[in-house]
Every structure is written in C-alpha cells, then in structure tokens.
Structure 1
Amino acid sequence: MGPPRRSRGRVRPGNPAYRPRLVSRSLQFVAEPAPTTRVTTEAPAILSTSAKELEAWLLSHKAPAYRRKQLWAWMARGAASFDEMRDIPKPLRSELGGSFRITSLRPIAVSQADRGLTTKTLYELDGGHSVEAVVMRYADRSTLCISSQAGCPIGCPFCATGKFPFGRNLKAHEIVEQAVDAVRMLSAEGKRLSHVVFMGMGEPMANYQAVIESVRRLSDPELLGISPRRVVISTSGLIPRIDQLGQEKLAVTLAISLHAARDELRDVLVPINRKYPVADLVASAQGYAEKTSRRVSYEWVLLAGVNDTERDAKELGTLLRGKRAHVNLIPFNPVEGTPYQAPDRAGVRRFRELVEAQGLNVTVRDTRGREADAACGQLHERVMRERSPVHVS
C-alpha cells in the first residue's frame, strides 16, 4: 500500500516533529528557538540507529528483521509519523513511537522565494543549535543544499555563517534527516529529491566521518537511493581530507571554494589558505580528479572590486588551464555587516567573458533565493532578530 495522501501545507498537524505555525511579517516561524544550552532527554531518532541496531531492536520486540527495510522505505517516501506506515502492524507502530522519534530536527522557521521554487528551513538540533537547509526546484531536478555543521570554524569574512560562534558538528543522521524532510516536502508536491549539495552551513571536510557516512546512507538504495554522482561536497581547502576522499570510491563531485587564485588575496577571503595555500590545494583537487575521473568544480563568489578584475581572471586561467576543472561564478549575496558588494549584471558578464577568454569552462550560478536570506547563515541571523513572533491559532 502506498503512503496516504498528506496535506500540501508545510506544517502538518499531528506530526510530533512539527509545531504550531507562528508568523512574523514575511517569515514563517514554526517554533521559538530554545537556548543553545538545552539538554535533550527525548527518545533517539529512528535514523540514528544503524541497520544492525534497528534489526536487533525489532528482534527484541518479537518483530522480524525485514521490518527494518519497510521502515526505511517509508522514511524514503517522507513519512511524517509511524502511524503512516500502514504495512507495519499497529502494535509495532505503537512500540516504535514509544522508543523513537521520526526525526531529531525541529523546524523553527521557513522562508520562501522565487515564487515558491526556493524554500529555506531553519532547524533546531538537539541541544539547541540551529542549521539551515535549502530546497531548490528546477524544471528537470530538485536540489537540496545541506548543512554539515552548526556554524562554521573557517571564518570567511564574506560569509554570514562565520559571523556567529561555531556550535558543533552534525551527526550523520542529522544530515540525512535534512534530506528526508526535503523528500517529505517535495513528495507532497509530486516531486522527488534528485541532487544534494553540501554547501550549507559548515565546512564538510571538518566533519569528515559524519559527512561520508551520511553520503553512504543517502545513496543507499534501501533508503533514499541518491547516486553519489549527484552529490557535491564542497570544501574551503582541507587538503588531507580531499586526499582521503579520493580513497573512498564514492565518485562524488568535489567543489573547491576558491574565490581567489593568489595566496595574498585568498589568505584574507579564506583564512585556512594560510595553512593550505592555493597551489597545494589545486594539486590535491586534481589528484582527486585523476583518481575518480570526475571534474572538479571551483567556486568563485564574485565580490565587486575585490576578485572580479582582469588580473583575477588571468591568474585563474594560469592556475586551472589544462586541468579537469570547471569554474562556477557565484554573484555575492549581500551580508549585513560585511564590507563586500555584489557586482552588477554587466560586471558578472564581463568577468565571465574574461575567464572564458582564458580557455576555462565557466558558468554563472542561478542566484536563487535572494528574498529567502539565501546566503549561508542569513536565515539564522534574521530569526535571531525576529524572535518575538505573534502566535496564529
């Protein structure tokens, strides 16, 4: 039996993972954030258990181990509660509900943009920290931009996430739960999640083991079944982890947050460059490309008057020409309190042409979600400013 029809609304009554909607101007608050020092004593999330652990629990409750596959299949469909899992006996559903939560993530706020094509959700984690995830709908795919850390330890000066203190690493199941919630959202619209990019809050390579475990679970055909080739892992440049990734045989796309081709400038824009300079970083990335036969994406946030000059384009050409490389230009999403500005459209077009003249493959990223506080950390920052919403019954 297929999953029952669910409400098309973002917040569904009766789901223990959701709370009454609160509204403040254009931002929808789902719940008030808790203090970050909160200690949870709630039941574990179902996806925090491994396959073996869940099967052992089932056997201890006199249920056959194959029920685990049924449970995961329902999670892959975006089930919002154990009660929806109609092919699982009701007594077992009751026992599951008493022992596990369907998710550990609690949505705090939801922001929409691009006429509903972009949805950004701020989630509270166990312990009170919060992270963001963005669902972007396109004609041929649906992509989730996922977070791997609460905050970010790298401290890039143009990034909203770096403006507030680093919280903690996410656990693998907390990363996967972001994808499951995206599946839940998209399935209510008759869509499916096809791509995942680790370009949300945090430095994925600084939470390496959890990120790799989450990718394996995301790609598990018994769970979400998303091909690793449709997963992008971004990094600011942790070379030892890039080298380690090349041994994983996952064939994910590697994205390097480059932003500058000379050390003098990148030391400022991406402080970890002082430890892992540009030439060494590109050599490591190309080593990954050779091992996996996968082209590396080099991300370049365009900052007006900072890294959008002819000199920058020529240095980028010298650095990447002849390599398995693709340059992804990203017009800057303005962040309050930073000195940086986005170039105008003519400036973006001019820099793209300069890079193309260097013989490089280059695209300009679709600037989705500017209305939705799209840059990493912006929704978190906005919620902190608007923490006195009005309750709507």
Structure 2
Amino acid sequence: MNATLDTDAARRPVTRRTFDDVLVPTYAPAAMVPVCAAGLDVWDQDGKRYLDFTSGIATLGLGHCNPAVVAALTRQANTLWHVGNGYTNEPVLRLASALTAATFADRAFFCNSGAEANEAALKLARKYAHEAFGAHKSRIVSCHASFHGRTLFTVSVGGQAKYTEGFAPLPPGISHIHYNDIASAREAITDDVAAVIVEPIQGEGGVVPGDAAFLQALRDLCDGTGALLVFDEVQSGMGRTGALYDYMNVGVTPDILTSAKALGNGYPIGAMLTTDRIGRHFSAGSHGTTYGGNPLAATVALSVLEQIDRPAFLARVRTAGAALMANLERLAADYPQLFARPRGKGLLLGLPLAHGYRGRSKDFTKAAEQLGLMLLIAGPDVVRLAPALVVSDDQIAQADRIMRRAANALLAAR
C-alpha cells in the first residue's frame, strides 16, 4: 500500500515519546530532550539547565558549540562541502599533514566513525600480514571487555557477548585475552597473529587504565611475531588523558592508531594513522568510503586539533583531571557503602560502585540527572565521568556537590 507524503510531519511538535513511535529502538534515551547547549551547559525542552559531564560520550572535547569550530565549519560550508573520492581537497591534506606531524604516523586514512577507523585498521593489518607473510597469518587478538565499534567485525573483536548476541555466525579468526594480563598475552600471541588491538585505557569496559608493563609486553610480543600493534584511541585520544594521544603517556608506540569521537568535537569523522611501511599495503581501490575525509569534516577536525594540541591546553587537562580525581576519592571515602576507589586518567574517570550497589550505575546517573548533572556509565557497575576538556574549576566543584546530593538520594531510596 502506498503512503501519501505528509509534508507537515517534520513541523509537528516532538517529544521523547516520538522516539518510541518512529525510531528503531536501539537506544533507551533519557526522558529529557536536549535542545541547545554552550560549553558544558545544556538546556532541555522545558528550559531546565544541566551540567554536562558526558561530552557526548567523550566526544565534545572543546564543549558544545565551540566558537572557533563553529566559525571554521561555517566558512567551509560556504566554500566546498563534498567531492567524490576521485578527487582530493585542501582541508583533508592540511589535516593529514597536521596529524602526521603531531604523531608517530606517516600516513592517514579518514572515515566517519571509530568503528570505521577500527574496521580499516584491522583490514589493513590482515592485508599487510597476508602480503608480507602469507594467508596463514590472519588471527586478530583483542581483550575481553574491550569495545571497538558496532560493525559485525569490530563488535566481534570487542569480546563482549552482550553486543554480539543474535548476530551469529560471527567472523572467525578472533581471539581474546585478559586485559593487563601478560601471561594471557604470551599464550595467545603466536606466529599466526596478524594484529593485536588494544585500548590503552578501556572505556566501555569500566574505565580501566592499561598497565605500562602490559602495553610494552604487547609491543614486544608483536615485534617478536611480526604482528601489528593497533591502539584504539577513539575514546582516549585528542587530549582526553592529558596528552594528544595516550600512547604518548605510556611510552609505547603502536603500528596503527585509530581516532574519532573528539577528533571532530561532535562532527562525524574517524581516522586511522600508520606508517609508510604499513600504509602502502592499502593500494588504490583496496579500501574506501564515500564521505571519509570530506572538506567539512576535515576542516572541523583541524580546528579541533589546533586548539587541543598545545602544551598549555594539555597541561590544564592534567590539572583538571587531578582535581576531579581528588573529588572522587573524597566522595568514595565519604560514601564507602556506595562507592569503591575511583580510577582512570586525565578527564576519563570511572567511579565503581561498592559491592552492595553493583548493577545500579544507571540508578545513580538518573538521580544525578534529576539534580541537573549529566553523567555516563561504563557498564552496570561503574559511573563514568568524561567532561569537556575545557571544564572549569567551578564546574568541577558544582559536579561534586550534585554527586553528593545524588548519593544521598540513592541511599535514602534503598
């Protein structure tokens, strides 16, 4: 039966209920609907103001509607939006030059998301291994509780059963080791491994920092077997841990690095960075994407990079992270029945729930949201804080006050 186009549908008032009526239910969004924002402040449809300590899941490193990013996007929107990948463009060449100058990499590939960046990294790793060693070298090693995206390949690599349930058969040739477990890595990383992919700090898996010794062991094992080491810095990158990328903090250099989220400050862009030696195995036509590296995305990302990759900016991230961590440590000490010891790095921090409240991280974030503070979870047992990197001392103090009120509310409701 043919439906008649309702030209007025997009003009009718929308509410949270509209989500349930017209969108595929892959998410369970909050009851409030944000409508405008600036910096770390968000207002909903009712005009209520919130302090945003989620930054769009560690994406809005420079905060909502950053003036310099808005200006860059506006200029480019009036210049050149898109060309097919039979052409290049000036903004993407500038961005690639800046990223390679700032990192270990010689080459960049641009796409639209972290999942696509990881997909490209894993495809490149297998192609490199097949051409350099033979088709027998194809296995991918990842960590339990990791997260690398939602494509069928990357979600299988992630190693969390809750994300792969119902999608079998899953891609073969993937193994998982225990995070921060060197013995587990030694057992798994043998001569048939094409790549080892790891988050230097697990985000979705509970905000767990990687031990420097573990990450160095992965580097050594890859060097010994000819495997490539891939760092997934989709969440930890772009200043989030107080360095441009966290590999710079731990002193372990990967062969391939993936970046997204804060690279575009909310504008969709992903990047895969690698060396000449490896990158040349992606020849013309071997991989691609329609929108990847388009002028709009590249212009936004370059504006973001130029603001974040400054010593004074990154030093402030480290200072703000230390202040936020100190508040969380005091909060955990004052509410031992509710919280365990916090963990994380820079402005990517996790607050685990104590034994009696495990499984209730969402209850705590809902209580905080009612009081005007937006927080994340990292699984059912960990509250995650990832404010914009431009967070002020006053905003850190405000978040602490609201979290204490939320803690009291949760305890009173038990």
Common fold: TM-score over 0.5: no
Give the TM-score normalised by the residue count of structure 1: 0.27
Higher relative contact order (CA 8 A, sep 6+): 2
Q: Which has the higher helix share?
A: 2
Give the TM-score normalised by the residue count of structure 2: 0.26
